[in-house]
Chains A and B, each alone.
Chain A
Amino acid sequence: MSLRLRQPGIPLTDESALIAALSAGDETAFAHLVDQHAAAMLRVARGYVPTREIAEEVVQETWIALIKGIDKFEGRSSLRTWLFSVMINIAKARGMRERRDADAAIAACTGGTVGPKRFRTADDPYPGHWRPDEVPSPFPDTPEGSVLGNELVAVARRELDKLPERQRVVVTLRDMLGFDSAEVRDLLDISTANQRVLLHRGRAAVRQVLEDYLVDHS
């Protein structure tokens, strides 16, 4: 890579080096950042806007904002957090989705995340406990890259794509991309409690399809 040739010893993962290279107009550095973040940005943008085309425009605007503002980028947040934060603001402005609706929808999320039939009923000596034939079994240990591991990742991904948008965005940011709770709270401007409701429901839905898959394939 040209960065390495010009600046021996500075890896492409060194953020301040990347930012300096970007400021200097280094296209390789830009391409590297695009390859690192643009696909995930598109995935998240889709949670705010109605079409893939608009999501692409939102992501493109975000990169242009970075190009224009790179000299002023002060590194107070990581570049990734900055990109997602700007992108989500642009997407919200384009998305026309009302925050009030979102909070109302979260508040309306009641009901359990595990099928109620799996638990013993009130007339049982142990109400609310697993029915004997419904006790969960541990998921198998699947090393990264194993056949079963890859199948489970594919199953999880299909379910993630099907989740309601807000759940999908929160699960994507927290579990797929590894943002922490405080970062997601700031990015999405939702309360920690609501974030946790969305995260829990989304994870529970993915857990259920993984369990179904493992039961069907054992």
Chain B
Amino acid sequence: MAVAFTTTLDARKLRADFPIFEQEFHGKPLAFLDSAASSQKPRQVLDAMTRFYETSYANVHRGVYELAERATEGLEHARERCRAFVNAPAAHEIIFVRNATEAINLVAYSWGLANLGPGDVVLVTELEHHANFVPWQYIAGKTGAEFRMLPVETDGTLHLEQLDELAGDGTVKVVATGYVSNVLGGSNDVPRIAAWAHERGAIHVCDAAQAAPHKRVDVQALGTDFVAVSGHKMLGPSGIGFLWGRSELLRSMDPFLTGGHMIRRVRENESTWGELPHKFEAGTAPMAEAVGLGAAIDYLEAVGLEAIERHEHELVAYALERLAEIPGVTTWGPPPERRAGIVSFDVEGVHPHDVAQILDLDAVAIRAGHHCCQPLMHRLGVAATNRASFYLYTVPEEIDRLAAGLWRVKETFGV
């Protein structure tokens, strides 16, 4: 192969940490090329959660007994791990939520409902995952604000010089953009977009769900106001993610969900809210999940995000090379050195569902569909794409199996 693997990351060795790879599908080992949808989990994460349940489980906060103290420590230690992971100034700026979708909804409801109105503009891009598109479209609709979309090129390029024209004379209040595209894999220039938003007096909301697994997300360097992260895409369990927000903004906002834990005082006629982060964490927290996310961060940091990023660039370069050998296969997206481990492609004359189904018979798991990006699909002129995505445990042989499977798809369909 022409692509040289220079990485310091030993994917073959890391794979041994992932129990899911111990089983076979259709009599073959699993080639899991769908990590952009959700990643697999290392034993270290699963063990941390089991250990928490076996030794430290009780409801957190306000418990007087030692076990409750231990549970609280587990949760708050996880919060500190998340803070350090994104270089947030303070741990109370880390709000645990179910996933990035909930994080963005929190901002859209709590900040958007109070601050948006007729004449205001909410600006997103055509590249967005529905998680950073639909909540803003919905809240703009509810408040009478205008919802505008910055178009994207089919390789994922955003023309940021068009932002001024798109904004026009409108009062831009929110600019919501992703960091890494879950379909095309490219990164956006978040610092520049956030700076533009601030010049216009708007807040910037960054969907980092697809960035956090692959590269360093430094909230201070990005210069944004809110960052949404999902744990399940970065080796953590499902059901946990976090929102980072600037203290002064979070303090100025009303709660999103109300009920237990998030209060300061409850009286018959009125209630008042607790301090950060509790104001935004109503109900019993996903404690074991938070502990699992903390363990996932430990794992990622031990491997090294720079090594992961480099490994993915190399895998993408190799995949693009292998797919280019197959006539009728087209790929979308920026060059390999500018993308996370994501390759969206089309096989001429074969619907993505058929491609994915035939690959499955060889135990090659890819995703086929709109990837929660219907506006982008519309721009690409397709209803769906095939998407192969890679992570720290992906080895080049799995990409070879993908390529072999695609030849079989073509043979089956006679294209």
B partners with A: no
Interface residues of B (CB under 8 A from A): none
